[in-house]
A and B are shown apart, each in its own frame.
Chain A
Amino acid sequence: MSEKASFRTSGGVRGWFGRQPWYVRAVLILFFTVLAYLLPYAGDVPLIGPQIITEGIDWPSALFNMSYYVLLALGLNVVVGYAGLLDLGYVGFFAVGAYGTALLTSPDSVIYADTGWKWLMAVPAALVLTMLAGVILGWPTLRLRGDYLAIVTLGFAEIIRIVATSTTTLRGDRGFASIPHPPGSWNGEPIFGVTDAIPYFWLGLTVIILVILGVRNLDRSRVGRSWLAIREDEEAAEVMGVRTFKYKLWAFAIGAFIGGLGGVLFAGEQSFINSQTFVLQFSILVLAGVVMGGSGNMAGAILGGVLISYIPDRLRGLSFGDTDLYEYRFAIFGAAIILIMVLRPQGLIPSRRRAMELKDREKEVAPL
């Protein structure tokens, strides 16, 4: 019996990669990791560099944007791609992470006088808050299936947005200013300043790598098996002893945690957030990214996250004749999604375990 019996055999690049000896894989991973850290300097690459980098927004900032979109895509991928739970309100967790940070650290916050916390101190608290939000939303709703769950989560994101808009504590449009940046200094200068976005990108990238490692560990364990079993046949999974509710709730909490990480980073970089930041399109966009990239697999989610952030940023400042292409970003985006979905319904990097949750409608109405 071969020791790799449980790894799905597959062709393509991933199949090839999986067949390499460990040191080849290690060197390749190291190489691409270093390459990722060097991305802020992509503009210096002759010929192709200037084509890749954004014009209307400074390139490191665009990279930082990508990093939190990738985080969101990775988190949503756990919920939608792994556990098969259609969550349309995922931005809610991003918002909870960002608002949690703002409430604890911004001088505009009503509790600032009591805390006066720095960014780093607020991070664990904000993340616990986000996971709690995931559990509170999941507890009553995870007994629902498919469409119903989608509607409830949609409502959740709207509630968060409306509360943010209309309560005085969350300050609506006025928002929270002076949220502190992450700590650290170099040669007497703060590392995380206002002018240079590169350190933020590096921080985001580091968090992404940790998230990838964590999610991978979960995926290759009874947790990942349980999620996949639930996605493929929830009733059969439960009959085989899987505590389906528990694992769905974990998927929700872990997804929320990762979304919260995105929010915490976002707040730390922007230093200002208000209720305009967390519109519903945002959730839809991230979901589109995950599905477009290939849900149920991290490489696909990462690619999707990169694209949904990169395409609009790249269009910024570009014009075609008299028309500013950025104005048309959603139209261009929609066209790209339709094209991809027609040509590659499983996503750009399809999961070896195809996502079935979006087409599997027969079992929506569960027998008691």
Chain B
Amino acid sequence: MSEPHQKTPEELDRENARPVDQPAPTGGSASAPATRSVSGDDVLLEVDHVTLRFGGVVALNDVSFSLRKGEIFGLIGPNGAGKTTCFNAMTGVYRPTEGAIRFQGESIVGKKKHQITRGGIARTFQNVRLFPEMTALENVMVGADAHHKTSVISALFRLPRFWREEKSGRERSLELLRFVGIAHRAGDVSRNLSYGEQRRLEIARALATNPTLLCLDEPAAGFNPAEKEDLLQLIRRIRDTGVTVLLIEHDMRLVMGVTDRIVVLEFGKKIAEGTPAEVRDNPAVIAAYLGVPTDAA
């Protein structure tokens, strides 16, 4: 298995330098320094007192946490806890009712979904959402196109940029299919892939956008133990290429085995945060998972 090119050292440097070079845009009345993270340079993403309501439903209730560069971060909680909603808020699908989300020091609230993606946050979906009539390779190439500059005119007249980007995009996409282990399905329409292959394809498609942060929404759902083990390895390999991973997962063993830190949500509220060991022994978390009211624990 060859590792795909993720980030050159220069690229990583540039990204590290970005919060310093480009001050974060001031959000609302707050001044620039106030919107900036104070937790140090290695903070990649900051969810800052985010509340998100759907009519009467409070899907996220004053949730705060931050991700450090290079870690594998777990987001867990019972069904309906607000995990997917949190992803949606981070990727521009929903706008937080209150609070701020900052990525590399810059607010991403109100940005368009495609801008956020090009900015470096990629995701997969809880219910696989591939482009079913496209081949596996084309699916990944859509992700790779995120950083391409081929215009309609250069595609129409087959200008040099078109050939260059089409070639490099294809090569990189094939490399990613190999990386997730489904290169042999490159030419098949994604609808015809097995469930496990589709989940892997979604990861490859997200990686193709060259993310700094990859958000995986229950990537192991429906997997057998062997497949889960493979996925665990894959997540580690992704992290080893320099990508920070945010993982929603119900399988405790998997989460505990792979993550560096974990945040636990319940009914939209953060009830715990810490290392896997800390979280595992937290009475509130045990209660949430056993369905016992927190105050009784």
Query: Could you tell me which A residues sit within 8 Å of B by CB distance?
Result: 1-2, 4-9, 214, 217-218, 221-223, 225-226, 228-229, 232-233, 235-244, 250, 254, 352-354, 356, 367-368
A248 to B117, CA, bound (A): 19
The closest CB in chain A to the CB of B158 belongs to A217
B:106-131 near A, CB below 8 Å? 112-114, 117-118, 122-123, 125, 129-131
The reply to whether A1 and B133 contact each other, CB–CB distance below 8 Å, is no
The closest CB in chain B to the CB of A7 belongs to B187
The reply to whether A8 and B156 contact each other, CB–CB distance below 8 Å, is no
A2 to B143, CA, bound (A): 21
Counting CB contacts under 8 A, is B155 at the interface?
yes
Query: Could you tell me which B residues sit within 8 Å of A by CB distance?
Result: 91-95, 112-114, 117-118, 122-123, 125, 129-135, 137-138, 141-143, 145-148, 150, 152, 155-158, 162, 165-166, 169-170, 174, 183, 186-189, 205-206, 209
Chain B neighbourhood of A222, CB < 8 A: 141-142, 145, 148, 150, 155, 165-166, 169
User: A6 touches which one: B117, B118, B135 (CB < 8 A)?
Assistant: B135
A93 to B104, CA, bound (A): 46
The reply to whether B132 and A232 contact each other, CB–CB distance below 8 Å, is yes
Chain B neighbourhood of A243, CB < 8 A: 114
A254 to B186, CA, bound (A): 30
The closest CB in chain A to the CB of B186 belongs to A5
The reply to whether A240 and B146 contact each other, CB–CB distance below 8 Å, is yes
The reply to whether A236 and B137 contact each other, CB–CB distance below 8 Å, is no
User: Known interface pairs A232-B132, A233-B129. Does A239 touch B146 (Cβ–Cβ under 8 Å)?
Assistant: no
B213 to chain A, nearest CB (A): 13
The reply to whether B135 and A242 contact each other, CB–CB distance below 8 Å, is no
User: A240 touches which one: B142, B156, B169 (CB < 8 A)?
Assistant: B142
Chain B neighbourhood of A236, CB < 8 A: 125, 129-131
The reply to whether B125 and A244 contact each other, CB–CB distance below 8 Å, is no
The reply to whether A237 and B131 contact each other, CB–CB distance below 8 Å, is yes
Known: A214-B156, A228-B134. 11 other contacts (CB 8 A): A5-B186, A7-B187, A221-B166, A222-B165, A233-B129, A236-B130, A238-B114, A239-B114, A241-B117, A353-B134, A356-B133
User: A218 touches which one: B141, B142, B143, B156 (CB < 8 A)?
Assistant: B156
A155 to B135, CA, bound (A): 37
A2 to B188, CA, bound (A): 12
Chain A neighbourhood of B93, CB < 8 A: 235, 239, 367
Chain B neighbourhood of A235, CB < 8 A: 93, 113, 129
The closest CB in chain B to the CB of A213 belongs to B156
B180 to chain A, nearest CB (A): 15
A–B Cβ pairs within 8 angstroms, 21 of them: A5-B174, A6-B138, A6-B141, A6-B170, A6-B186, A7-B187, A214-B156, A222-B148, A222-B150, A223-B150, A225-B142, A226-B142, A228-B134, A233-B130, A236-B131, A239-B91, A239-B123, A240-B205, A240-B206, A241-B118, A242-B142
Chain B neighbourhood of A233, CB < 8 A: 129-131
The reply to whether B183 and A1 contact each other, CB–CB distance below 8 Å, is yes
Chain A neighbourhood of B170, CB < 8 A: 6
Chain A neighbourhood of B174, CB < 8 A: 1, 5
User: Known interface pairs A239-B91, A240-B117. Does A6 touch B137 (Cβ–Cβ under 8 Å)?
Assistant: yes
The reply to whether A218 and B155 contact each other, CB–CB distance below 8 Å, is yes
The reply to whether B155 and A221 contact each other, CB–CB distance below 8 Å, is yes
User: Known interface pairs A232-B134, A368-B95. Does A9 touch B150 (Cβ–Cβ under 8 Å)?
Assistant: no
Chain A neighbourhood of B114, CB < 8 A: 238-244
The reply to whether B189 and A8 contact each other, CB–CB distance below 8 Å, is yes
User: A9 touches which one: B113, B125, B187, B205 (CB < 8 A)?
Assistant: B187
B217 to chain A, nearest CB (A): 11
Chain B neighbourhood of A9, CB < 8 A: 187-188
User: B133 touches which one: A226, A242, A352 (CB < 8 A)?
Assistant: A352
User: B145 touches which one: A242, A354, A367 (CB < 8 A)?
Assistant: A242
B281 to chain A, nearest CB (A): 36
- In the complex, which of the residues B132, B155, B166 has the most CB atoms of chain A within 10 Å of its own CB atom? B155
The reply to whether A241 and B134 contact each other, CB–CB distance below 8 Å, is no
- In the complex, which of the residues A2, A214, A221, A242 has the most CB atoms of chain B within 10 Å of its own CB atom? A221
User: B150 touches which one: A1, A2, A4, A221 (CB < 8 A)?
Assistant: A221
The closest CB in chain A to the CB of B155 belongs to A221
Chain A neighbourhood of B134, CB < 8 A: 225, 228-229, 232, 353
The reply to whether B187 and A4 contact each other, CB–CB distance below 8 Å, is yes
Chain B neighbourhood of A226, CB < 8 A: 142, 145
Chain B neighbourhood of A221, CB < 8 A: 150, 155, 162, 166
